[in-house]
Amino acid sequence: YHPLISKHDSYTFYTIKNDKIRLPDTKGGYLILEKTTDQDYSIAKGDTILYRTTKDTLRYRVVDQINIQQGALTYYTAAINEDDLDGPIYDQQIIGKIKGRIDDNIWNAFSLQIWELCIHNLNAAALFTNV
């Protein structure tokens, strides 16, 4: 997992502040990602994925083509020019599927902090009540 991502095993979605990701646009805020470990998780043509490049940077792109070679899934994305291509993207590079965006403002940042605090505390409380 990348250090910029809030990771919680108990729910399906991640949040990530997108100011440190190489993006096609420059709008700040947070990305909502569906975890690759979710049982209903799948990627289809037209989905937007967040992935780690071969240069260990984070990018997101729209999936243009999916191939299966020797049992391994390979994803290809559309690019504006050849300099922007990362080559094929493999399952192990994918961090998640982008489900939405949240603007970067004080209320959203505060709400996300409260949400993460509640999830963390609920998980801790669940450990003690299930004993």
Q: Does the residue 52 lie in any domain?
A: yes
Q: Does the residue 124 lie in any domain?
A: no
Q: Match 């440190």 to its residue by tokens.
A: 20
Q: Which two tokens stand for residue 28?
A: 């700040």
Q: Does the residue 92 lie in any domain?
A: yes
Looking at the 3D structure of the chain, how many domains does it have?
1
| Mean pLDDT (whole number) for 69-74 | 86
Q: What is the pLDDT of residues 8-46, one digit of tens each?
A: 444 455 556 655 555 555 566 777 788 777 777 889 999
C-alpha of 90 from chain center: 15
Percent of the chain with pLDDT strictly greater than 70: 63
- Measured CA to CA, the distance from residue 119 to residue 111 in angstroms comes to 12
Q: Does the residue 122 lie in any domain?
A: no
Q: Which domain holds residue 88?
A: 5-103
Average pLDDT, the chain: 73
Q: Does the residue 126 lie in any domain?
A: no
Q: Which two tokens stand for residue 76?
A: 């290809």
Question: Residue 80 carries which DSSP code?
Answer: S
Separation of first and last alpha carbons in the chain: 30
Domain containing 71 — which CATH number?
Answer: 2.10.109.10
Q: Does the residue 125 lie in any domain?
A: no
Give residue 10's pLDDT.
Answer: 42
| Mean pLDDT (whole number) for 118-124 | 65
| Mean pLDDT (whole number) for 44-67 | 88
pTM, entire model? 0.66
3-state secondary structure of 14: strand
Q: What angle do CA 84, 61, 104 make, to 5 degrees?
A: 110
Q: Does the residue 117 lie in any domain?
A: no
Q: Match 């504006």 to its residue by tokens.
A: 80
Q: Does the residue 116 lie in any domain?
A: no
